[in-house]
Amino acid sequence: MTDRASMDPKKKTVLQLVSVILVMGSLAWASVPLYDWFCRVTGWGGATDIAETTGDVLDKTIKVRFDASLASDMPWEFTPVEREMEIRIGEQGLAFYEAYNPTDKPIAGTASFNVAPFSAGAYFSKIQCFCFELQVLEPGERVMMPVTFFVEPEIVDDADAKHVPVITLSYTFHVTDLPEDYAPEQATLEIETNQTARGNL
């Protein structure tokens, strides 16, 4: 007989172990994007909302702290320019993070993010953010990455969130593959254009 029932027990065990490893590897590969997507959709885990405009601006203020970290394989340097700011609830805020690639090769990265405490995540809305897109830094390139945000006025009506004095916005950069259409010459031109634009501000 040649069916699975008559398979050598050692071969059967090896086949099962290989299957388990393949399944676990696939789940590990997909876990970060799936978790990030789930948090963005549900607001669970302190994920933020994405908005186009602010609403009413209240007289009440709240402090926003900024945190930065890197995945273990990400060689960039990454830090918030300003560690903390105080804004009125509903008021648009603008913060910058600085990233630097100290290596001798271009490196692409994507940023995951969350908000603490979790209860405030549903009321922290971003209008524009570097985390919405893939970022590529050339060797030795240093860039300023902006995030425009506001705290929704509805936070004051939430029993769990209305007494939160400080919201912490955290980003973690992860290494990712360079885009298939990546062209170093084009990237150099974009860097020079961005530097010129920043110099004119």
| pLDDT tens sequence across 7-62 | 677 777 777 777 777 766 665 555 445 544 444 444 444 444 455 555 689 999 99
Mean pLDDT of 145-159: 96
Beta bridge partners of 169: 66, 115
The beta strand positions in the chain, using DSSP E, are 49-50, 61-70, 77-80, 84-88, 93-100, 107-116, 124-129, 135-137, 142-151, 166-176
State the residue range of the domain holding 87.
46-199
One domain for residues 124 and 188: yes
pLDDT at 127: 94
pLDDT at 26: 61
pLDDT digits (tens, 9 = 90+) for 72-127: 999 999 999 999 999 999 999 999 999 999 999 999 999 999 999 999 999 999 99
One domain for residues 16 and 52: no
- CB atoms under 10 Å from CB of 161, counted, come to 21
Quote the number of domains for the chain: 2
One domain for residues 194 and 154: yes
One domain for residues 32 and 126: no
Res 171 pLDDT > 80: yes
